Amino acid sequence: MASVDPRAYSEFPLDAPHPLPFVSRKALRRVKNPLPAPANCRYCGPRTPVFIGHHAEVYNGRSYGEWPYVYLCESCGAYVGLHPFTDIPLGTLADAQLRDARKKHKTVFHEVMQVAGMDRRQAYRWLAGELGIQVGACHWGWFEIEDCVKAGAICQARLEELSYGCC
């Protein structure tokens, strides 16, 4: 069963953490199974705090999307984006190696989606079944490197099946 951030239905005013201009209740309701915001860097340890920064700090001065914010470790540079108009992380804090693994293997997943004619929901349902995990836990932003490699191999095998017309 999917959960929603309880602040989405709170009667109290929402305090947006600095530097966010606001946090939207409607946007909070859209995020199913939200992860908690990282307080400390998982790579540097419990004494290294994570803060909300702007895309410009990690993307060479550029900003992407309508909600250009990330949780960022100033020490090692690990980061994760935020769901639009919320302070909820899109996944877990990731260093360069993990971000690269997520991007690389998710690309194959998108190819399978396209070739198989699946929408996003169908594709995640299929991948969760192949991985033997709950659909609610099947998020590239939640995967570790090993998960990315396993999911990528499953996607590559399926892409090959689809390309050669078998199965």
Give the amino acid at 141: G
Q: What is the pLDDT of residue 91?
A: 97
Percent of the chain with pLDDT over 70: 98
Q: What is the pLDDT of residue 166?
A: 60
Q: Give yes or no for residue 113 having a pLDDT over 70.
A: yes
- pLDDT per position as a tens digit, 120-155: 999 999 999 999 999 999 999 999 999 999 999 999
Q: In a 3-state reduction of DSSP, which class is residue 64?
A: coil
The HSE-up count of residue 125 (CA atoms within 13 Å, CB side) is: 5
Task: Report, as an integer, the average pLDDT of 56-76.
Answer: 94
What are 81's strand-pairing partners? Answer: 70
Q: Which residue has the tokens 């994570």?
A: 50
Burial degree of 87 (CB within 10 A; 0-12, 13-18, 19+)? buried
**CB 43 within 8 Å of CB 31:** no
Question: Rounded to an integer, what distance in angstroms lies between the CA atom of residue 68 and that of residue 66?
Answer: 6
Question: Rounded to an integer, what distance in angstroms lies between the CA atom of residue 140 and that of residue 147?
Answer: 9
- Mean of all residue pLDDT scores within the chain: 95
Domain ranges, ordered by start, for the chain: 6-81, 96-163
Question: Rounded to an integer, what distance in angstroms lies between the CA atom of residue 18 and that of residue 7?
Answer: 17
